[in-house]
Each structure stands twice: as C-alpha cells, then as structure tokens.
A and B are shown apart, each in its own frame.
Chain A
Amino acid sequence: MKVSVVLHSYLRELLPPEARGTAVLELPDGARVEDVVARLHLPGHVIFALNERLERDRSLPLKDGDALRFLRAGAGG
C-alpha cells in the first residue's frame, strides 16, 4: 500500500531538499504508524496527524491512501 507523508519543521531535513518535506512510502499490508517512524528515523517526541486528525497511538494501523503529517509540538510565537 502507499501512504503519503509530510514532515514539518526541522523534520524536513530528514528528507532530501528536493522532496520539500514530502514522501510517498510503499508499505507492506498491516504496517503501522510506528513503522513509518522507524523507516524515516523520526525522533521519539514528534506528534502526528493521520488523515488530518491528531492521534497519539503509534500502533494505529495504516491503509492504502492514508496521509500522515509529522510535527513538533509547537510553542512560542
């Protein structure tokens, strides 16, 4: 299955500059959010939105066409 991923803030540096923080990952059936975290070497403290809904449980299963965004918990401004 294919899952689209957007990385925000400094997390974008984990992808090549030309990707502009976006990637489409090919994942095996049964993959979970934590598998994406591991694949992209994301740090432990990031938060994420699955299909534009903030979630906390990284064991959530993914399905084809899902959209993930990873963010830092924002403060300041």
Chain B
Amino acid sequence: MARSLSGKILHVDLTRGALTTEQPPEAFYRTYGGGSAMGLYYLLRDLPAKTDPLGPQNILTFFTGPITGLPVSGQSRICVNALSPLSGGIADSQAGGFAPAALKFAGFDGIVVKGAAAKPVYLLITEGKAELHDAAGLWGKDTAEVDRLLEEKHGKVEVMQVGQAGEKQVRLAAIMNMHNRANGRTGVGAVMGSKRLKAIVVQGKLRVQAAEPRALARQNKEGTANVEAIPDMKGLALNGTADVVPFQHSIGSLPSFNYNEGTFEKYMDISGERMRETILKERDTCYACTVRCKRVVETEAQGHKVDPTYGGPEYETLATFGSYCGIADLGAIALASQLCNLYGLDTIGTGATISFAMECFEKGLITAADTGGLELKFGNAEAMVEMVRQIGERRGFGDVLAEGSARAAAKIGRGADECLVTCKGTEAPAHMPQAKKSLGLIYAVNAFGADHQSSEHDPLYEDGVGEFYLKRLAALGLTTPQPPGSMTDEKVRYAWRTQCFYSAMDTYSLCQFVFGPSWELYGPVETAEILAAGTGWDVTVEEILKVGERRLAMMRAFNARQGFTRKDDTLPKKFFKPLQGVGPTAGVAWKESDLEQVKDVYYRLAGWDVATGNPTPARLEELELGWLNR
C-alpha cells in the first residue's frame, strides 16, 4: 500500500449507530483514484435507484485523494457525493481547507455514511478511532460557534459541519469547514442535515508519507517559484479568484441582472482590486499550499460587522450577490457571503436563486405580498441580504427559495421558468456560455449541472493564446487554437479532453487552481510527476485522463439509473434568446440546433450512445466498469 494512503475507509451506519472500517486493496485506490470516483463506487454499488435524496436511504460519501496530507500545494481537498436533492442526479462537490489533510492524519482516506440518526449526532475521529456523539448542544448554532464549542471540548480539531441551513434541509445547503470553506454545490448540506449528522470532527497526528520525498520537495520548490512566474497564479495570489472580474466584464462573460446581460457597468466596484484596496484584511491558505488565494475581509455593512473569521467572497460570490443582482455594494456582498458561511449555504446557488427572484419581482410574477413586503428589485442590497437570512432560516419567502430556483419557479408558476438559469435543476455559475462556447456544452452535458470547474475555459484555446499555455495543452494532444468565440469540432475535443483532466483532479482530490491543463501552478506533466512522487505509482498523463474519464462515465451511469437521458443535457431557455445590454456578447444567443450538433460530436468522442447520451456497455467494459452492466 502506498504510504501516502491511510488504507482505511470508515463506514458509518447512522440508523444502527454502527461504525466499521474497510481496508481495500491498493488496486482499488489505483483504479478509482479517490475523491469523486471512489464516492461514486459506493453510490453505484449500494444506492437503490430513485430513492428520496433527503431520506435515510441516501448515501453520503467523503473522499480525499492519494496524496492528500503530503507537503505539496493543492492536495488538501475533499469531495462529497450523494444523490442530489436539487437535480435528482449525482451530487458532487469539492472543498479545500485543512480538514481534508486532517482526515488523513486521523487515519482515514474516506467516509461512507448511510442511514439517518434518530437525533442529532456528530462523528468524532481520533487517530483511527471513531465514535458518534450527541450533537443536541450544537444544533441550531452558527457555524463559528459550533467550531468554538467543539474545540473547547476536544482541543484542536478540524470540523466539517452543516449549519442551520443544512439542519433545515435547505436544498442550497453546503457542508462547511473552518466555517469559511464549503462543499457548496448540489445540495450536499441538505443530505447531511437530513441524516441529522451535524458534524464530522477529526484530529490526529498519524503520518502520511511520500514515496519519493526528494522529488516531491523539488516540485514544491518549483511551485513556489511558479506563483511569481505564471501570470495567472500571480493574479490569483494577489487578488484571489476575484482577479478575473475585469476580464470577465471585458469579454462579456460577467453575468448581470440574472444572466440577462454580460457586462456590469460598475464591475470595478466588485473587483478583486477594489477588495484589496478596501476591505481585505489578509490572505489565507489551505494546508501546505503556497498560493494563498483565499481572502479574509473585515468591514461593516448594513449595521453589521463582517467578521474575518468567515473569510471573504470568491469571484463567484461577488458575481452572484453582485452583478447577478445588479448590486455594486462590496460591503453588502461581503455580508451576504458571511451569512452563507454562518448558515452553511452555497453562495452560487443562493445568490443565483435571489437574482432569479429579483427578475420575477421586476416582471410582476411575484409581488411584495409574496415577499413579506420586501422590494426584491435588482440593486436592492438590503433586500438581497435579508433574503439570504430568510433562506438560511427557511423563513418567509425564503422558505420558497430554500427549495432552489427550479422548484421555486414551479411553485410561482406564471412563466417564472423563463427566468431560470439552471441546468439539471442546479444554478449556473458566473461564466457565460455566450462568451465561452465550449463551456456552454459542458454546462449542458455535465452530470451534476452547470459547472465552471469541469473543463478548461475557451480563452485558453483561442487564437493568440500564449506559448506557455499551448505547450501544456499539447500534453493532452491539443495543439490547434481556435478562433475567438467559435464553437468548432476542435473546441468540442478541447472541452472533452480538458473535462477528463479536470475530472481526474476531482477524483484525485486535487485543487484545480494548482493542478490543471494550462494556466495552473502545475501542468499535466508535473501533475503526473507529483502523483508518482507521492504514491510511488508510475502515473502518466494518459492514466490521469483515463481515471478522469472513468469518473465521468460513472456519473453518467448513475444518472442513467435515475432516468436521465440526452434530453436532460440542455441549457436554460434564456440562453437561446439574444443577450441584452452592451458589450461583446450583447445580442448573442445559442441555437438549439447548434447545441444538439455539438452534443453529437461530444458523445461520439466520449464513446457514449448518441441517442441516450449514456455510456455504452462496451465503453464501460473498456473503462473497467463492466460491473455496472450486470
């Protein structure tokens, strides 16, 4: 067994209160990699099709990767999977922080949670030993207070918890660690809350070791130098993910007014540059990472302190609570971000759901009579913040929005679905397919809905892109940049190949800002070298791509069991109408026929059935997934 692995998986049956340890063979780790694919293995093996996502039958998995806990940047990540209460398909969400590495130091590579507890509990894992504890004293408390109480009782610990939103099974609920890092997307917090599992608490000093420590140290040193040498990393370190705001605006990819426009006049007010000049207190990091992209802010807004303990807004958060809602008030956005972390809410889903409600309000589909008197108009920062509170507490109109925008639209009726920006019931993130065409394809076909971290974005494979990026992309066989704004067969190949790579990062549980196909701290070749140095396995780029492809096929196979087919691979209705506003994407629309055409190309590349969009039995066999055919 690779010494970078614990070699142990904890199985928790909350209904029976039973805890058991599995020690799979090393080949299992090599095949499935970790993270998402390992979680999918248990979901596909043990979860009956079409169960209630918020019922006790659902399975919730937490998996690190084969080099989590080693002294190199970008390795402290954890992936959570379940049946999604938003989409009815696969739920999949990653987070960083210190908890992922701490789980390894506590003696486990992953956790599989089944059943539901009769009353609130938390799971305590200390150096290979696991126990369930009464969580009555933690239920209903703010996430920071829960962390404080657990440290008071157990000493230094890392905590993954649901906040009040998860307790109330808000479908936009996240699983929080450090009360400022989130497994945010696809409703995993609601699943954890439905199981009355308040928190997973880990502590320990068990060692994980690299197979080749010197090779890993050399790569780590080069990584530190790359923070200065690679422009994108330099910008990310300096301004966080919010560094991209001016670029997004400039290419017409900054969603504004609920995705009706692609530019935002006051974009500089919500930029990373403005944040650094005004409310930024410090930069934060994940375990052993040299990049330090996390923001920590401090300010006051609407009479409330924005506390540094809750971190600071990412680009996505600035966009969803900012430009999506027509709001340029950085303090109000920081307050909304804090509230999401305090209640345990996905900032993307929550902000996007509020902007959806704002458009409904503007169009008269809902009125102040529905919202308890709130003038839920674009630009109303007070109403936006209040609605975050109402969603987190399932109070007032927030109880309707707590179901996510797709279910809210169905409840509102009167054509509210025209205002939706969802794929497979999940709110779209802040990169626009009108500007980034191949991303539009990925939004449509991705098994867990629109996701901006499932493939490389178009500008990195368009004419004029720098040699540095092309050299890295060549390792994936991508050598022919395409015209800006185009959607060609080669762009589809770019989307597919980079999707396989990104998928592998979610499988090995590696940060996609540190490991990636082009602009990241490490390129594909270095990623293979680091995985090899960590595990002792002779990992190649081709193996990485295969591991990523295997996970994509597993997600599609999972969704197929849930009844998903090609028709579910689509885009929101409004993407087929010309964008409003000004800038390079004004007037741009997707054509339904174009989407269907590129889906054909994509399915063929993937070896999936063009009629159903699902993996063929033969392809599953080739990916060592033949057991899914039986």
- Interface residues of chain A, those whose CB is within 8 Å of chain B, are 8-10, 12-13, 20-21, 43-47, 49, 52-54, 56, 69, 71-77
Contacts and interface: CB of A to CB of B under 8 A. Distances in A.
B142 interface: no
B403 interface: no
Given A12-B273, A75-B519, A54 B244 contact: no
A77 B241 contact: yes
A74 B231 contact: no
A57 to B, nearest CB: 10
A74 B466 contact: no
B316 interface: yes
A43 B466 CA distance: 11
Given A45-B466, A75-B460, A10 B231 contact: yes
Given A54-B584, A74-B246, A77-B452, 19 more contacts: A8-B273, A9-B243, A9-B273, A10-B231, A10-B239, A44-B466, A45-B468, A47-B464, A53-B584, A56-B464, A73-B247, A73-B459, A73-B460, A74-B232, A74-B459, A76-B232, A76-B244, A77-B241, A77-B248
Interface string B228-257: 000110111011011110111011000000
Secondary structure of the B side of the interface? Answer: helix
A19 B501 CA distance: 41
Interface in B446-470: 452, 456-457, 459-460, 463-466, 468
Contacts of A76: 232, 236, 241, 244, 315, 512-513, 519-520
Given A21-B273, A56-B464, A69-B250, A43 B231 contact: yes
Interface in B491-522: 512-513, 518-520
Contacts, number: 89
A71 B247 contact: yes
Nearest to A73: B459
A13 B465 CA distance: 23
A77 B314 contact: yes
Q: Which of A21, A69, A73 has its CB near the most chain B CB atoms (within 10 A)?
A: A73
B430 interface: yes
A20 B242 CA distance: 17
Given A8-B273, A20-B277, A69-B246, A75 B518 contact: yes
Contacts of B246: 8-9, 69, 71, 74
B431 interface: yes
Q: Which of B236, B460, B518, B583 has its CB near the most chain A CB atoms (within 10 A)?
A: B236
Nearest to A21: B273
A12 B512 CA distance: 26
B107 to A, nearest CB: 33
Contacts of A72: 231-232, 235, 243, 247
Interface in B373-423: none
A73 B243 contact: no
A64 B246 CA distance: 24
B243 A74 contact: yes
Nearest to B241: A77
A8 B238 CA distance: 11
B244 A74 contact: yes
A75 B244 contact: yes
Contacts of B231: 9-10, 43, 45-46, 72
Contacts of B251: 54
Q: Which of B231, B241, B316 has its CB near the most chain A CB atoms (within 10 A)?
A: B231
Contacts of A46: 231
A73 B465 contact: yes
B315 A77 contact: yes
Given A10-B235, A10-B238, A12-B273, A75 B459 contact: yes
Nearest to B316: A77
Contacts of B316: 77
Contacts of B512: 76
A77 B460 contact: no
A77 B244 contact: yes
B273 A75 contact: no
B489 to A, nearest CB: 23
A77 B239 contact: no
Interface string B464-485: 1110100000000000000000
A74 B513 contact: no
A75 B472 CA distance: 15
A23 B173 CA distance: 45
Contacts of B583: 52
Contact of A77 (B277, B430, B456, B465): B430
Nearest to B460: A75
A45 B463 CA distance: 12
Nearest to B274: A20
Contacts of A43: 231
A61 to B, nearest CB: 19
